[in-house]
Amino acid sequence: MSFRARLLTLLVAVLLLGSVGAGAVLYAADRSARHEQAQPGGPVVEAGAVSLRTPTGGRELVFRNMAWGPHHDELATVPADRPDGARTASGVQCLRFHAAAGTGVCLQAERGALQDTYRAVILDDQLHELRHFPVDGIPTRARVSPSGHLAAWTVFVSGDSYAGTDFSTRTSVVDTRDWSLQENLETFAVVKDGRPYQAHDVNIWGVTFADDSTFYATLASGGQTYLVHGDLGARTLTTLHQNVECPSLSPDGTRIAYKKRVPGASPDAPWRLYVLDLATMTERATAEQRNIDDQALWSDASTLVYSLPGDFGSDLWTVPADGSGAATRLLSAAVAPAYLG
Partner 1 sequence: MYLADRRGTTAPASAASAPGTGPGRRAAAVPATVLALGAVSLITDVSSEMVSAVLPLYLLTGLGLSPLGFGVLDGINNGVGALVRLVGGHLADRGRGGHKTVAAVGYGLSALCKPLLLLAHTVPVIGAVLAVDRTGKGLRTAPRDAMISLATEPEHRGRAFGVHRAMDTAGALIGPLVAFGVLRLAVDGYDAVFAVSGCVAALGVLVLLLFVPGRARATAPATAAVSLRDAFALLRLPRLRRLTLCAVLLGLTTVSDSFLYLLLQRRLGLSTHLFPLLALGTAAAFLLLAVPLGALADRIGRRLLFLAGHGVLLLAYGLLLGPASGGAVALCVLLLHGAFYACTDGVLAAAAADAAPAEQRGAGLALVGTGQALARFACSLVFGALWSAVGGPSALGWFAGALALCVAGAFLVLREPAGDRAPDPSEMAL
Check binding of 18 to partner 1 (CB under 8 A). yes
Q: Which of 29, 130, 181, 301 binds partner 1 (CB under 8 A)?
A: 29
Among 64, 87, 98, 170, binds partner 1 (CB under 8 A): 170
144 contacts 103 by C-beta, under 8 angstroms: yes
Closest separation between CB of residue 311 and partner 1, Å? 13
Contacts of 326 (CB under 8 A, 6+ apart): 287, 319
Residue 37, interface with partner 1 (CB under 8 A)? no
CB of 334 to partner 1, least distance (A): 13
Among 53-61, 229-237, 263-271, 323-331, which window interacts with partner 1 (CB under 8 A)? 263-271
Q: Given phi > 0 = left and psi -120 to 50 = alpha, else beta, which region is 222?
A: left
- The least CB distance from residue 187 to partner 1, in Å, is 10
Minimum gap (Å) between residue 172 Cβ and partner 1: 11
**Please, which residue, 133 or 214, has the CB nearer to partner 1?**
133
Nearest CA to 261 out of 270, 252, 251 is that of 270
Choosing from 42, 48, 55, 313, the residue that interacts with partner 1 (CB under 8 A) is 313
Which positions from 122 through 161 interact with partner 1, judged by CB under 8 A? Answer: 134, 136-138, 140, 156-161
Indicate left, alpha or beta for 315 from its phi (over 0: left) and psi (-120 to 50: alpha). Answer: beta
- 47 to 76, contacts with partner 1 by CB under 8 A? none
Q: Alpha-carbon distance 277 to 283, whole Å?
A: 6
Q: Between 84 and 123, how does the x/- string for binding to partner 1 read (CB under 8 A)?
A: -----------x------------------xxxx------
Taking the CB of residue 11, how many other CB atoms lie within 10 A of it? 10
Total residue count of the chain as it appears in this document: 341
8 Å CB contact between 289 and 325: no
Coil, strand or helix: which one is 28?
Answer: helix
Distance separating alpha carbons of residues 194 and 240, to the nearest angstrom: 10
| Residue 24 binds partner 1, judged by CB under 8 A | yes
25 is a contact residue toward partner 1 (CB under 8 A): yes
- Residue 332 has φ and ψ, to the nearest 5°, of -95, 160
Q: Does 6 bind partner 1 (CB under 8 A)?
A: yes
Nearer to partner 1, 65 or 103 (CB): 65
* Binding of partner 1 by 189 (CB under 8 A): no
Residue 11 in the binding site for partner 1 (CB under 8 A):
no
- Site membership for partner 1, residue 203 (CB under 8 A): yes
Q: Identify which of residues 57 and 267 has a Cβ nearer to partner 1 in the complex.
A: 267
DSSP state of 287: S
The values of phi and psi at residue 297, to 5°, are -125, 135
The answer to whether residue 15 forms part of the interface with partner 1 (CB under 8 A) is no
Nearest to 283 by CA among 307, 304, 306, 255: 255
Which amino acid, residue 201? D
Counting DSSP H helices and E strands in the chain, the numbers are 1, 27
Q: Which residues bind partner 1 (CB under 8 A)?
A: 1, 6, 9-10, 13-14, 17-18, 20-21, 24-25, 27-29, 31-32, 35, 95, 114-117, 134, 136-138, 140, 156-170, 198-201, 203, 220, 223, 267-269, 293, 309, 313-314
